Chain A
């Protein structure tokens, strides 16, 4: 165990870290410019979408290419609720539950299919979703889209709109991440991982792979719906373009770049999803797609486990260097070297722990 891990295993240190991070999150929107607040807000929105994707794909190993569809449905439900004067809390839960029910119905059929078949079904979701949103004009506003203004800051807060939206998104994002973190530790995390890695073993210990895939798919769609609600908080407008297939692939890239089967990786994925297009646009708007592709390939080439594996890679490199120093020919025999390595144990990519 290295020094940092030892330090973080102390309860007081962990509490202190949480307090400092919470304080920074609270203070940030009060001191940052509007654009920075909006960027942070959008990072929260997409981090929740990536989190859902990670639960079905990273933790349970089922290829899901239609997460953006559930974000779109969540956004439309939110717009419909707001425009029909539903209570905002009811609207939020409807934006989670309706995509969740849709996800459940789709999963009941799709989870029976294995491998690429489930991928094909999920590809169909945004492909069907976009024309459907264009045709269901009464509900969706058709190609024009629909707006819903409900996230302006109340007067009593004394906040600007961007600050209020930031706080709304941040609270829901933090709650979502805590719930997901709790879920993937313990019973369900272990079960989802064994369904992903070896279905025969899962069945032998009383776990139905089908049920767990359906459950993970439903949870992913609930998170997708929640991110749709958050999208409306941040953007206040949605159109069929929101759920286009290209965005779904970008979410997938964000998950892989952040780190599959990792809660922290989902957060990094949200940051990547928002930040990289902004950076590449700022560098040269004419070659955005190429530069995004280069960044994607570069990250995965250097860190196949995603950006979340960076500390592990650094630790491994540092350890190698230390071992090289400690095992110089004058001081250490090969036998000692083996013993040292054995005691240390090989570096492992421990997924599902973060």
Chain B
């Protein structure tokens, strides 16, 4: 079931540097929401705050009314959150299937003793969830790569593998960090269809950080634009693209004046 995300007045400091200042917005359940802004705007830092990897100095982050600000990041998957990373972090020495199987980790029962003894339920769980992982790879047209290692595959495929791993966590809220980075233009349309399909089939709320404005415009229902760690505006992608403040943030004041 898709989850609502509420971010309120989030501040993040690294030493004396303010990375995020009073950022707030609400993502409704089932929405595809965009987080855009120039490089260094604080988009990934905000993702890291939501996923618990960074601890904000103040503010509130709620997933379905559950305050998650002080939860350790490794507990976030239990609250229904899954994420991908800007640079796909895969284990290059393990097979794609083993990489993806990490996504079913929370659902594998038993401790080290049971697994050392290879008790029957551990074998059964492993088999069942391995089939589920293979099914997910097939769903994303990656079944053929299951037994290859990621170092044999392209960067774009790495993104797909990481997405597979995240989806196996059965998330209610999915954070995608630059899913189109490194993809050829021909693949972006496919990605748009894929993300829409994921939202509909898995009933999940999706927040996307992306520089590809075509993808943002085609996919998102609302966007927040960040600049220098502050929220510049919130609205539809079309509104953002025509907003003078956003144009100025992207291309500079002089260029924006010239364009006007």
Contact = CB atoms under 8 A, between A and B. Distances in A.
A168 interface: no
Interface stretch (B73-81, B135-143, B221-229): B73-81
A214 to B, nearest CB: 11
Contact of A206 (B105, B112, B117, B118): B105
A164 to B, nearest CB: 27
A215 B166 CA distance: 25
Interface in B58-78: 72-78
B173 interface: no
B242 interface: no
B115 A204 contact: no
Interface stretch (B6-14, B92-100, B232-240): B92-100
Q: What are the 5 A-B residue pairs with the smallest beta carbon separation, nearest first?
A: A206-B77, A203-B73, A179-B116, A206-B106, A203-B74
Contacts of B149: 345, 348, 350
B93 A187 contact: no
B127 to A, nearest CB: 10
A204 B82 contact: yes
Interface stretch (B83-91, B179-187, B209-217, B250-258): B83-91
A213 to B, nearest CB: 12
A209 B89 CA distance: 16
A203 B52 CA distance: 9
Nearest to A201: B89
Nearest to B129: A187
A205 interface: yes
Contacts of B101: 190
Interface of A: 179-180, 182-183, 186-188, 190-191, 193-194, 197-198, 200-209, 215, 219, 345-346, 348-353
Given A190-B105, A206-B106, A352 B93 contact: yes
Contacts of B106: 205-206
A200 B86 CA distance: 12
Contacts of B126: 186-187
Contact of B93 (A188, A345, A350): A350
Given A190-B98, A350-B94, A204 B110 contact: no
A346 B74 contact: no
Contacts of A346: 151-152
A198 B88 CA distance: 11
Contact of A190 (B51, B73, B94): B94
Given A204-B74, A206-B105, A345-B148, 16 more contacts: A183-B116, A186-B122, A187-B105, A187-B110, A190-B98, A197-B91, A202-B74, A203-B74, A204-B51, A204-B53, A204-B85, A205-B103, A208-B72, A345-B149, A346-B152, A348-B149
B108 interface: yes
28 contacts: A183-B112, A183-B115, A187-B105, A187-B115, A187-B122, A188-B112, A188-B115, A190-B101, A190-B102, A193-B94, A197-B89, A198-B89, A200-B73, A200-B85, A201-B89, A202-B74, A203-B52, A203-B74, A204-B74, A205-B77, A205-B102, A206-B74, A206-B105, A345-B148, A349-B93, A351-B93, A352-B93, A353-B94
B224 to A, nearest CB: 22
A197 B118 CA distance: 25
Contacts of B102: 190-191, 194, 201, 205, 207
A53 B253 CA distance: 60
Contacts of A206: 74-78, 105-106, 169
Interface of B: 51-53, 72-78, 82-83, 85, 89, 91-94, 98, 101-103, 105-106, 108, 110, 112, 115-118, 122, 126, 148-149, 151-152, 165-166, 169
A353 B112 CA distance: 18
A23 to B, nearest CB: 24
B105 A348 contact: no
B105 A191 contact: yes
Q: Which of B76, B78, B91, B110 has the most CB of A within 10 A?
A: B91
A182 B117 contact: yes
B115 A348 contact: no
Nearest to A196: B91
A219 B112 contact: yes
A307 B36 CA distance: 50
A204 B98 contact: no
Nearest to A183: B116
B159 to A, nearest CB: 14
B91 A194 contact: yes
A215 B89 CA distance: 24
Contacts of B165: 205
B98 to A, nearest CB: 6
A179 B53 contact: no
B116 A180 contact: yes
B89 A187 contact: no
Contacts of A198: 89, 91
B169 A186 contact: no
B94 to A, nearest CB: 7
Q: Which of B76, B94, B101, B106 has the most CB of A within 10 A?
A: B94
B114 to A, nearest CB: 9
Contacts of B118: 182
Nearest to A176: B116
Contacts of A205: 77, 82, 102-103, 105-106, 165, 169
A167 B53 CA distance: 51
Contacts of B148: 345
Given A187-B108, A187-B110, A352 B94 contact: yes
